[in-house]
Chains A and B, each alone.
Chain A
Amino acid sequence: MPDNAIFYHAAYIAAAVVYGGYIVSLAIRTHRANERRRRQQNRSTVHGRSAGQS
């Protein structure tokens, strides 16, 4: 039986890095987009209130 376990270890590490990296990138992008959305909503609420008061 050939001894080539290093290739399969490397392949599983590569797969874990790609899938794991994508999950992390998605989490970061989602967090940033949600933050921006929250700021945008707060801004429009403040503007709406001041427009209503005037």
Chain B
Amino acid sequence: MTSSNRIADRDRFDWLLAAAVVAMVATFARVIYFTPIEARQGAAQKIFYVHAPSAFIGLYVGFGLVALAGGLYLWLRDERLDRIAASSAEVGVVFTTVVLLTGPMWGKPIWGTWWTWDARLTLTLFIWFVFVGYLILRGAIEDPATRARYSAVLGVLGALLVPFIHLSVYLFRTLHPMPILLKPGRPSLPSDMLATFAMSFISLSLLFVALLRARYRLAETRDALEAEDSADVSSVASLHAQPVR
């Protein structure tokens, strides 16, 4: 199959994305109707099932992949790696946006405040700005090679914040609770809640993969358009460059 046929097929129904949406709806239903309410925090604790997996996938997987693909791009100069990095950055920003919206909605009833400038929250907001900047930078540079190189460097440097975000609850005094799953030893959750968390984690991972694939395909189509446009421009320029007789 040629690349043009592949791109022409792209308007077809995306089964992976549809499966991810169905999994998300099932997860939301399980959270709302079949998961017990935590005694001390009340119903607001259920925000955990969307907040924590979105944070793990968006920050650790999404921005980690930007750094990995960006670093490999700087070494191998393969444009597919640049597409993976750009797609992962955009999807990572979406996941982190959910984290930054749901966090304050959990904080208000439990901490008594929507926001506090402690290390975990501030660093998460900071990395969100870095990767929004990454996307703006990509939109501002026309030359594909320069765009890929600059954004790879920014992606690698931006993702260096991820370990600090993870360790911030140990390194600084913070209102944010310690990890209850990503820690040495057994998770501190009852089995019902752990099962809901696992379901949420799996469906959000599926959503991440489906969105990454869809965004990668969009990047591929845009690159093909850009290449064709620049070929048109150079052929017109060469026609103008010919001497008139």
Q: Is B21 an interface residue (CB 8 A)?
A: yes
Q: Which 8 A-B pairs have the closest CB atoms?
A: A4-B109, A5-B43, A2-B42, A11-B105, A4-B44, A11-B102, A33-B221, A11-B47
Query: Which residues in A have their C-beta under 8 angstroms from that of B105?
Result: 7-8, 10-11, 14
- Residue-wise, chain B 21-47 has the 8 Å CB interface mask toward A (1 for contact) of 100100010011000010111111111
Tally of A interface residues using CB under 8 Å: 29
A41 to B5 CA separation, bound complex (whole angstroms): 11
Could you list some 19 contacts between A and B, CB below 8 A? A4-B41, A4-B44, A5-B44, A7-B105, A12-B28, A12-B47, A15-B101, A15-B102, A18-B97, A19-B207, A26-B211, A26-B214, A30-B11, A31-B11, A33-B221, A34-B10, A37-B7, A37-B224, A40-B225
Distance (whole angstroms) from the CB of B41 to the closest CB of chain A? 7
Residues of B within 8 Å of A14, CB to CB, are 98, 101-102, 105
With A7-B108, A33-B221 given, is the CB distance from A23 to B8 under 8 Å?
no
* Number of B residues, CB within 8 Å of A: 46
> Which A residues touch B41, using CB under 8 A?
2, 4
Name the CB-closest residue of A to B215: A26
In the complex, A5 Cα to B47 Cα: how many Å?
10
Interface set of A (CB-CB < 8 Å, partner B): 1-5, 7-8, 10-12, 14-16, 18-19, 22-23, 26, 29-31, 33-34, 36-38, 40-41, 44
Q: Contact check, B228 vs A4: say whether CB atoms are below 8 A apart.
A: no
A18-B94, A19-B24 given; A11·B106 CB < 8 A: yes
Contact A33 B43 (CB under 8 A): no
Q: A22, A30, A40: which contacts B218 (Cβ < 8 A)?
A: A30
CB distance from B76 to the nearest CB of A (A): 26
Q: Is the CB of A4 within 8 A of B98?
A: no
Q: Which residues on the A side are within 8 Å of B218 (C-beta)?
A: 26, 29-30, 33
Structural contact, B43 and A23, CB atoms closer than 8 A: no
Interface string of B207-244 (1 = CB under 8 A from A): 10001001101100110110011000000000000000
